[in-house]
């Protein structure tokens, strides 16, 4: 048995869930979720894990009394070295933001991440017809907390992507007139100016699981440097094109961060205009 500590926002918890699923499969065991009662993931997804509130609480209390191994992952460790530490009867505490922690499991994970039916119904009632009648380019623009999320290590506090990134991504799509463009954001008030170069567009800001399904079901996807939209690209079963910002959170210092976050299938797109 292993325990995965769930922490952070939805995208973070999805990385923790994927890592726990793959590790439990590797060691032919099951896992528990610590902090389950505060988990936004469990609100939106049906867990494929031996789980009930009371049983989970009892087992966590028992497990924590034992002298178990704790595996900490801060963010800049070498993935291969971290994976050497993985074992059964352990407590996993970290963010594990690289596909390398669960490499080889993509088809398996695509089946295990199941959005709860009531949220699928909300998406279908609001956007089902739009997606049925059109090919969709979805763009994720995260503002909000990213205005003050960074550090000196990443070149400053503001980690929001500039307009130039989205222009560079759109420039790679020759047939944009054949698509409906849907922009998903967490800040309706301030997003419009960033996309004034796109004449025909729909801008939305729904409950995050509805926003997620817009990104997930698009035919082409331009993601931000956010684990939330990363998962929309990873879990999609469509053979779609995903454009991602080069260097991710490290775009100002031109150093990928977290290391290993960018999938090989993503089209790495320059954030700034090349001179």
End-to-end C-alpha distance for the chain, whole angstroms: 54
- 258 prior amide bond cis, ω within 30: yes
Cβ neighbourhood burial of 23 (10 Å; 0-12, 13-18, 19+): buried
Q: What is the pLDDT of residue 121?
A: 99
List the domain boundaries for the chain.
2-112, 118-269
Q: What is the pLDDT of residue 56?
A: 57
- Short-list 96, 41, 89, CA closest to 69: 89
Q: Which residues of 31-63 are buried (b: 16+ CB within 10 A; e: fewer)?
A: bbbbebeebbbbebbebebebeeeebeebbeeb
Question: Nearest 5 degrees, angle CA 9-CA 123-CA 21?
Answer: 45
Q: What is the pLDDT of residue 240?
A: 86
Q: Which residues of 98-111 are buried (b: 16+ CB within 10 A; e: fewer)?
A: bbbbbeebeeebee
Q: What is the pLDDT of residue 32?
A: 84
Write the CATH number of the domain with boundaries 118-269: 3.40.50
Q: How many CB atoms lie within 10 A of CB 117?
A: 9
Q: Which residues does 177 contact at the CB level (< 8 Å), separation at least 6?
A: none
The ranges of the chain with pLDDT < 50 are 52, 54
- Short-list 112, 118, 104, CA closest to 31: 112
Question: Nearest 5 degrees, angle CA 109-CA 96-CA 49?
Answer: 40
Distance set, CA 255 to CA 85, 101, 167, 228 (Å) = 26, 20, 21, 21
């Amino acid at each position: 048995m292993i325990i995965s500590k769930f922490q952070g926002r939805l995208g973070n918890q999805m990385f923790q869930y994927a890592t726990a699923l793959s590790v439990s499969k590797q060691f032919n065991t099951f896992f528990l979720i610590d902090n389950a009662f505060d988990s936004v993931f469990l609100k939106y997804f049906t867990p494929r894990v031996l789980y009930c509130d009371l049983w989970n609480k009892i087992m966590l209390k028992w497990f924590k009394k034992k002298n178990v191994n704790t595996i900490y992952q801060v963010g800049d460790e070498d993935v291969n070295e971290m994976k050497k530490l993985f074992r059964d009867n352990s407590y996993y505490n970290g963010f594990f933001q690289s596909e390398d922690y669960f490499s080889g499991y993509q088809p398996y994970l695509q089946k295990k991440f199941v959005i709860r039916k009531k949220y699928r119904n909300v998406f279908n009632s609001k956007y089902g017809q739009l997606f049925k009648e059109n090919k969709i380019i979805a763009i994720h623009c995260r503002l909000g907390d990213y205005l003050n999320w960074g550090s000196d290590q990443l070149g400053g506090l503001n980690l929001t992507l500039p307009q130039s990134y989205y222009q560079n991504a759109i420039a790679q799509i020759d047939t944009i007139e054949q698509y409906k463009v849907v922009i998903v954001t967490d800040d309706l008030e301030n997003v419009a100016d960033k996309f004034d170069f796109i004449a025909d567009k729909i801008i939305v800001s729904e409950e995050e699981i509805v926003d997620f399904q817009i990104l997930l079901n698009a035919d082409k996807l331009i993601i931000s440097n956010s684990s939330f939209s990363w998962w929309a690209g990873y879990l999609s079963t469509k053979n779609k094109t995903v454009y991602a910002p080069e260097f991710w959170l490290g775009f100002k210092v031109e150093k990928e961060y977290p290391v290993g976050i960018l999938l090989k299938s993503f089209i790495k797109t320059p954030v700034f205009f090349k001179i």
